[in-house]
Chain A
Amino acid sequence: MSADVRTTLAAAGEGCQDPHIFNDYGCGFEAPTTSLFFPTPWLEFGLPATSGITKYTALLVLSVLLVAAFWFFTMRRAKVVPGRGQSIAELLITFVRDQMTRPGMGKKGDKYLPMMVAIFLFILVMNVMGIIPGAQLPVTSNLAFPAVLAISMYVLWNYIGIREHGFGGHVKGKLVPSGAPVWILPVLVPIEFISNFVFRPVTHAIRLFATMFAGHMLLAVFAAAGFYLFNPDAGGFLGVLSVGYSGFALLGFLVFTGFELFIMGLQAYVFVLLASFYIGEAIEGAH
């Protein structure tokens, strides 16, 4: 059992001597709550709107160090004929280029490739923290991290659009749909504004946050259920039944851990792909 599950169970087991099914105390199953996503701060600053140093901070720093170390050790002595580490790094770069930036931006987007590769690997490592034993908290399950990434992409998108087409050209290209008669524009322009300037960055952040949040919650429920349902002390048929239940819950936990790994990769991919689409649109101008 990991630290994460233990804290869940400690929270669930309050006011109950023996938090298991078929026991004599009659306390029911208490599902993990969103308190999972508010870990106890190790160090508080007492400033308003800050959370202090928590597990999120530690895992964030660890993610940054891991990504930096990966690039440092694979590309430290880059050769024309790559070694093993360099091959992996070049494979990753090629993957990001061919699957994400080229479809979104074309050849012109290659100058944004380093940024996109860095963001992809960073988000991927932050997500995968959710299934590393001992860490088991995806950093992106806290809305602050996806929000900052999405806001930076949004600012970059606007900056590139304004640089390429001027302020008026950028705003006009994003607000005035092509091929619509003038009399209908008052109806359409607000819709375009909401769609392009409000919903787009919001959904960009929430898509990543919500999947990580939900996935972590799912795993926590399975783990807590596996613990709660395990009660061989109940004796006889009930004991066997409870162990069977628990086995099902833990099987679900393992299956969904694999599924989460897939989702974590997918969401990092989707985030970078959409950022590429948006920036490509800004380079193109009118849509």
Chain B
Amino acid sequence: MNDRPGDGSEKEPRADGMTVVSYLLGGLAFWGGVGWLADWAFGFTTLFLPIGLILGLVGAIYLIVTQYGRS
């Protein structure tokens, strides 16, 4: 977590690990869920579910890169 006890005046540490994991899981869960719902509504077996999973994963990775990749 934090390697040094500080007085808060140094760089702002954040709960990065948790956020990264929840981005990945949230992306997969939300867009995968949307894809699954679309499959269920339109009567496909598996068409939109993998598309949604991939979209969610790409979005999550994009978020991680833009939010945390600049440091």
Q: Is the CB of A194 within 8 A of B26?
A: yes
Interface of B is mostly: helix
Interface of A is mostly: helix
Q: Is the CB of A188 within 8 A of B30?
A: no
CB distance from B54 to the nearest CB of A (A): 11
Residue A199 at the B interface, CB < 8 A? Answer: yes
CA distance A217 to B5 in the complex (A): 34
CA distance A104 to B31 in the complex (A): 31
Q: Is the CB of B30 within 8 A of A277?
A: no
0/1 string, A275-287, CB within 8 A of B gives 1:
0011001001001
Instruction: Determine, out of A67-75, A78-86, A95-103, the stretch whose residues face the partner at the interface.
Output: A95-103
Q: Is the CB of B62 within 8 A of A184?
A: yes
Q: Interface residues of B, CB < 8 Å — how many? A: 30
Binding site for B on A (CB under 8 A): 98-99, 102-107, 109, 177-180, 184, 187-188, 190-196, 198-200, 203, 270, 273-274, 277-278, 281, 284, 287
Q: Which of B1-57 contact A (CB under 8 A)?
A: 1-2, 5-9, 12-15, 18-19, 22-23, 25-27, 29-31, 55-56
Which single member of B5, B7, B12, B29 contacts A194 (CB below 8 Å)? B29
A contact residues around B27 at 8 Å (CB): 191, 194
CB distance from A91 to the nearest CB of B (A): 14
Q: Is the CB of A98 within 8 A of B7?
A: yes
CB distance from B50 to the nearest CB of A (A): 16
Q: Of A106, A191, A277, which is in contact with the most chain B CB atoms at under 10 Å from its CB?
A: A191
24 example contacts (A-B, Cβ-Cβ < 8 A) are as follows A103-B6, A103-B8, A106-B12, A107-B8, A180-B66, A184-B62, A188-B59, A188-B62, A188-B63, A190-B30, A192-B26, A194-B22, A194-B26, A195-B19, A195-B22, A195-B25, A198-B26, A199-B25, A200-B22, A270-B1, A273-B1, A274-B15, A278-B15, A287-B67
Q: Is the CB of B31 within 8 A of A187?
A: yes
Q: Is the CB of B66 within 8 A of A199?
A: no
